[in-house]
Amino acid sequence: MTEFHRQSPIRHLPVAAALLVAVAAMIGFVAMPGTMLEELVWRTGVAALIPAAQPPLGTTARIVLALATAVIGAAVTWSALFLLVGPGGLL
């Protein structure tokens, strides 16, 4: 007979939190007013590193920034939580 093992719901915490952070970052960038986004691009120096990112920013630039922020935020969140609550984690 097959034995079923109950898995802890905390096992899914890193993935769920990473998705939540990614969605929040994307919504934040999409909902941000254009002038505020352009000011953020100037202050962070992105425009100096990538000439195509100089204001005025179009829809494509807004989408690329939203996706990049979402991916970075999700990766950092998942990594941190996996190290804390993953197999052999600190908690």
Domain hosting 49: range is 10-85
Q: Could you tell me the pTM of the whole model? A: 0.79
42-91 per-position pLDDT tens digit: 898 888 888 878 888 888 888 988 999 999 999 999 999 999 988 888 87
Please give the tally of structural domains in the chain: 1
Q: Considering the domain boundaries, does residue 53 fall inside one?
A: yes
> Residues 6 or more apart from 67 whose CB is under 8 A from it?
26
Distance of CA 20 to the CA centre of its chain: 8
Q: Residue 38 domain-assigned?
A: yes
Q: Is residue 5 part of a domain?
A: no
Query: Is 1 within a domain?
Result: no
Residue 28 lies in a domain: yes
Collapsing DSSP states into helix, strand and coil, what is residue 26?
helix
Please write the tens of the pLDDT for every residue from 16-45: 999 999 999 999 988 999 999 999 888 988
71 in any annotated domain = yes
User: Is 73 a domain residue?
Assistant: yes
